[in-house]
Structure 1
Amino acid sequence: MLLLNGHLLPTAPLALPNRGFTFGDGFFETLILVGGRLRFGAQHFARMQAAAAALYLELPEALASAEQLEQEMTRLATANELPAARIRLQIWRAGGGLYTPETSSVEWLATAVPYVPNVAPIARAAFAQDTYAIYSPLSFCKGPQAWIYVRAARERQQRGFDELLLLSGAGHVAETVSAAIFWIQNAQLFTPALSAGCVAGVRRAHLLQVARQQGIECHETLAFPNELHQAEAVFSANVAGIRWIKQLSTVCWETEHPLLSQLRHWEAQP
């Protein structure tokens, strides 16, 4: 079952014109729902609001609050008999037209598959060579610049690495192919600033919030690769899990850093 504009359906053809298809005029969220509770729901909804505002879109009534978002996604998971679901929520501008839109109203589609956590360490990572992160008014949300991550994923596959880290055009570390990047140095937590062109990840936001609540000094910074090579630990984080990197280029870390283990513990607290 899927949810199309709030209607549970076994399948549904998408009518044309479709501005999401023709112009990429929209965005998406990847959500995890377990036991009827949406993980990082507040962070997802805040990013949805920001993305809608940046694209001059109006969120529909069914998705107008974090609570309503959770209710709709629970309907979908229940209909698919999924106690733990990974949900793709796609939102695009309704109507047709050329570049100039005819409306700020949207259509939306949500689909669900079983949620499988991914917390395994990343054995081998490197920096991307052929694709760069690009800062824009929309780089913080998911969808408008998806081609970057498709290219980076293809490069990762061709070069035979488990993960790639993207740099900005200025050479600053931005993110991995599908996750935020963090590193630890002197009991402090570092992650790239959004101005590097990275997505404003919901797990990124939550980890920073938790770390600061525990008194950990956090930095959102513009950093070059050598700063990660010199770090005590490097790890990635997205809705599917937190993964520490065992090798980045020629630098190796043999065990998970104690502060990362603490972050996992703190984040798991209700």
Structure 2
Amino acid sequence: MVNFNGALIADNEVQLSIKNRAFKYGDAIFETIKVVNGKVVFLEDHYFRLMASMRMLRMKIPMEFTLEFLQEEINKVVKESLEVSTHRIRLTVYRKDGGLYKPVSNEIDYIIEGSPLETQEKEVYKIDVFKDFYNYSGLLSTVKTTNRMLNTLAAIFAEENDLDNCILLNERKGVVEAINGNLFIIKGNVIKTPALEEGCIKGVIRKKVIEIVDKHLDYTIEETAISPFEIQKADEVFITNAIVGIQSVTNYRKKEFTTDITNKIKSSLQLAMVTS
């Protein structure tokens, strides 16, 4: 079942107009959310990111769009499959039908879809750089819009080259992120991640990892520009997203990475998920 503007509808009965703006212009944003035993993981962070993204894209936020409202709307979908303990939820918000580039209205519709989730971290995880196209830097790139053509092409490239993921670059050939998450590299006691100004998604787990490392006396966190060359020289590399949490990278070209510090951060993140 899908939650379409508050009403539960069977997947095969959802009808979207040919004038749908998410389809025609990518005029939509989305949140990918993990639900464990009925609890939305890091709900507040997802909610505030959603609100900030809607404001940036000049979407009209309905008065009823409170934190509690979002929780209830997600629960409608989760309750349809109570036998499953962990769910992947996708919340898509898009401007109402009509208009060309200029919309008829800034009011929104939303769809919440859920699916059972079984995540297992891969022991061997290989990545490389995707160079065919660039993710242009700037604040608009930090928003999770439905315009994901670059990610799609990079995912096809990864499959064709027997990779688990790819690193996306910006127009300055600096590291932005992975196909499906933010990127962190570790060298000594310094942990780096691309700054938002580089064009990376303002990830919820990215934020949590930065908070964890920032409180740790043994390590320093830096949000900065990163070159692909620095990845080659790193001791450890990991990718973060809302579903997996932290995925360790084991191989970048001929380089093999350790996972000692990554595993410590992962343990702290798992504790934060439980107590959030």
Secondary structure of the 2:98 match is coil
Q: CA deviation at 1:60?
A: 3.2
Q: CA deviation at 1:236?
A: 0.8
Secondary structure of the 2:143 match is coil
Find the aligned partners of 1:175 and 1:98 in 2 and give their Cα distance: 31
Percent same amino acid at aligned positions? 25
Contact kept? 1:121, 1:243, Cα under 8 Å: no
Alignment correspondent of 2:231: 228
Q: CA deviation at 1:153?
A: 0.7
**Equivalences for 1:123-134 in 2 at 5 Å?**
123-134=125-136
Higher mean alpha-carbon deviation, 128-137 vs 98-107, is at: 128-137
Match of 1:210 among 209, 212, 217: 212
Alignment correspondent of 1:65: 66
**Equivalences for 1:230-269 in 2 at 5 Å?**
230-241=233-244, 242-253=246-257, 255-257=258-260, 259-269=261-271
Q: CA deviation at 1:122?
A: 4.3
Find the aligned partners of 1:118 and 1:30 in 2 and give their Cα distance: 17
Which letter does structure 1 place at the counterpart of 2:14? A
Match of 2:103 among 76, 101, 114: 101
Secondary structure of the 1:189 match is strand
**Equivalences for 1:1-270 in 2 at 5 Å?**
1-10=1-10, 11-62=13-64, 64-81=65-82, 82-215=84-217, 216-241=219-244, 242-253=246-257, 255-257=258-260, 259-269=261-271, 270=275
Secondary structure of the 1:220 match is strand
Which letter does structure 1 place at the counterpart of 2:73? E
Q: Give the TM-score of the pair, scaled to structure 2.
A: 0.91
Q: Which runs of 5+ in 1 are unaligned?
A: none
Q: CA deviation at 1:76?
A: 0.9
Q: Which runs of 4+ in 1 moved over 6 A?
A: none
Q: CA deviation at 1:61?
A: 4.2
Q: CA deviation at 1:143?
A: 2.3
Q: Which runs of 5+ in 2 are unaligned?
A: none
Q: Give the TM-score of the pair, scaled to structure 1.
A: 0.92
Secondary structure of the 2:79 match is helix
Q: CA deviation at 1:144?
A: 4.4
Higher mean alpha-carbon deviation, 7-16 vs 47-56, is at: 7-16
Contact kept? 2:182, 2:203, Cα under 8 Å: yes
Find the aligned partners of 2:224 and 2:139 in 1 and give their Cα distance: 18
Distance change in 2, residues 1:9/1:223 (3 Å): same
Secondary structure of the 1:133 match is coil
Secondary structure of the 1:88 match is strand
